[in-house]
């Protein structure tokens, strides 16, 4: 069972990572992280997870996507032009 | 992971220059040089696909949604006033298209980790010794599959925010504008999405140390 303070820290993890928490809150979080291994691990794993999520290899675009997109767009543009 | 974008004078000037270049291309397209629309959207097509896929979780549906969105954007180009970035405008059309498709699929049973409640209690997963970034692990198909599966389990409006912010690198303001919600709600959704992903994935992504170092760490209790 974690303390209420841990729960308070978890609610701030996202803002802390983005650098959008106030300087006072940042200090409070860092004081807590200095002695709480559990919350440090939560922060590290979230941060690392976001590196993986943001990696271009995680979500790939299907082969030929661009060609199919521009082909369909061109067909639509031609149809519009023909209709005018 | 993207920090919320800071806008120093140089960044503002580069962004303004880029917007001005795009505005000039849009004017030429509206003046009759339609083919330029292909070049206008080219830098954004990957991002549009990822956003649509993030929402729909189905390759063919995502491709179709992007195609429809781009065609709609072409037809509505004259209505683009330049109040927002062209990329944000295009992204919001794509997200609307994807949302429309999700609503059509609403008859199908969609089960998510939470029901989209913006509040809710959260207990993260413990992963005491994950201190390195296993990005080389992404070469493994298995890890990519795990990440994608976790993404599929979180509610669409939370998923949308993690795609816009953490995959596409938009600022909170841009992500909120593309998603059509307030910045405050965008932040809450992003936090929920990240925490849900952490809970789902942290135990699966633990380093697999072998040999003497692994034995030593296990003996030391995981540190």
* DSSP-derived secondary structure letter, A64: T
Q: Where is average pLDDT lowest: A23-27, B9-13, B99-103, B107-111?
A: B107-111
Name residue, tokens 């149809």: A79
CATH (domain of A49): 1.10.10
Total number of domains in chain A? 1
Q: Where is average pLDDT lowest: A30-34, A35-39, B52-56, B214-218?
A: B214-218
pLDDT score for A49: 86
Point out the residue among B126, B148, B201 whose CB comes nearest to the CB of A49: B201
pLDDT score for B146: 86
pLDDT score for B211: 42
pTM metric for this prediction: 0.76
* Domain boundaries defined on chain B: 7-108, 111-223
Q: Which two tokens stand for residue B122?
A: 């959260």
Name every chain B residue with its beta carbon within 8 A of the beta carbon of A54.
1-2, 166-167, 169
pLDDT tens digits along A36-51: 988 998 898 888 888 8
Name every chain B residue with its beta carbon within 8 A of the beta carbon of A73.
37-38, 41, 67, 70-71, 74
Instruction: Tell me the CATH number of domain B7-108, given options 3.90.1010.10, 3.40.50.620, 3.60.20.10, 1.10.1740.10.
Output: 1.10.1740.10
Point out the residue among A38, A49, A80 whose CB comes nearest to the CB of B197: A49
Residue B148 has pLDDT above 80, yes or no: yes
pLDDT tens digits along B84-126: 889 999 999 999 999 999 888 765 544 454 434 444 556 666 5
**Closest residue of chain B to A20, computed from CA coordinates:** B4
A25: which residues sit within 8 A by CB, 6+ positions away? Answer: A12, A15, A16
Alpha-carbon span B153 to B26, nearest angstrom: 39
pLDDT score for B102: 86
Average pLDDT value for chain B: 80
How many Å separate Cα A79 from the centre of its chain? 40
Residue B164 has pLDDT above 90, yes or no: yes
- Higher-confidence position of B149 and B133: B149
pLDDT band at B206 (very low <50, low <70, confident <90, very high): low
Q: Which fold has domain B111-223?
A: Arc Repressor Mutant, subunit A (1.10.10)
In the predicted model, what is the mean pLDDT of residues B179-193? 94
The sign of the CA dihedral A14, A29, B217, A1 is negative
* DSSP-derived secondary structure letter, B106: G
Average pLDDT value for chain A: 89
Name every chain A residue with its beta carbon within 8 A of the beta carbon of B143.
52
Burial of B207 (0-12, 13-18, 19+ CB in 10 A): middle
Residue A4 has pLDDT above 90, yes or no: no
Burial of A8 (0-12, 13-18, 19+ CB in 10 A): middle
Burial of B148 (0-12, 13-18, 19+ CB in 10 A): middle
pLDDT score for A60: 85
Q: Could you tell me the residue range of the domain that residue A24 belongs to?
A: 4-83
Pure H helices in chain B = 9-30, 36-41, 45-56, 59-75, 86-104, 141-153, 156-162, 172-179, 183-201, 211-219
Q: How far is CA B79 from CA B32, B66, B180, in A?
A: 16, 19, 18
Alpha-carbon span B105 to B116, nearest angstrom: 17
CB atoms within 10 A of CB A20: 15
pLDDT score for B221: 42
The answer to whether B179 and B210 have CB atoms below 8 angstroms apart is no
Residues of A contacting chain B (CB within 8 angstroms): 2, 10-11, 13-15, 17-20, 37-38, 41-42, 44-55, 57-59, 61-62, 65-66, 68-70, 72-74, 76-77, 80-81
């Amino acid at each position: 069972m974690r303390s209420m303070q841990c729960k308070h820290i978890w609610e701030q993890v996202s803002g802390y990572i983005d650098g959008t928490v106030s300087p006072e809150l940042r200090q409070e979080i860092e004081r807590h992280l200095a002695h709480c291994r559990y919350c440090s691990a939560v922060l590290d794993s979230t941060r690392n997870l976001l590196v993986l999520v943001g990696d271009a290899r995680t979500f790939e675009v299907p082969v030929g996507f661009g060609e199919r997109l521009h082909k369909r767009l061109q067909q639509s543009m031609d149809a519009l032009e023909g209709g005018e | 992971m993207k920090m919320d974008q800071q806008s120093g004078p140089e960044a503002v000037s580069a962004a303004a220059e880029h917007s001005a270049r795009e505005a000039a291309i849009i004017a030429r397209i509206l003046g009759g040089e339609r083919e330029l629309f292909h070049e206008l959207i080219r830098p954004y097509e990957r991002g549009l696909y990822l956003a649509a896929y993030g929402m729909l979780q189905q390759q063919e549906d995502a491709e179709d949604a992007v195609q429809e969105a781009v065609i709609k954007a072409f037809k509505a180009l004259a209505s683009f006033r330049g109040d927002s970035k062209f990329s944000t405008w295009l992204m919001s059309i794509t997200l609307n298209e994807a949302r429309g498709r999700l609503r059509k699929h609403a008859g199908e049973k969609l089960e998510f980790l939470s029901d989209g409640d913006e509040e809710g209690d959260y207990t993260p997963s413990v992963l005491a010794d994950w201190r390195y970034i296993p990005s080389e692990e992404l070469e493994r198909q298995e890890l990519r599959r795990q990440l994608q599966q976790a993404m599929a389990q979180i509610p669409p409006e939370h998923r949308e925010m993690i795609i816009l912010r953490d995959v596409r690198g938009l600022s909170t303001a841009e992500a909120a504008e593309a998603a059509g919600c307030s910045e405050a709600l965008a932040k809450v959704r992003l936090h929920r999405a990240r925490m849900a992903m952490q809970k789902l994935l942290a135990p699966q992504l633990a380093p697999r140390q072998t040999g003497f170092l692994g034995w030593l760490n296990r003996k030391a209790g995981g540190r």
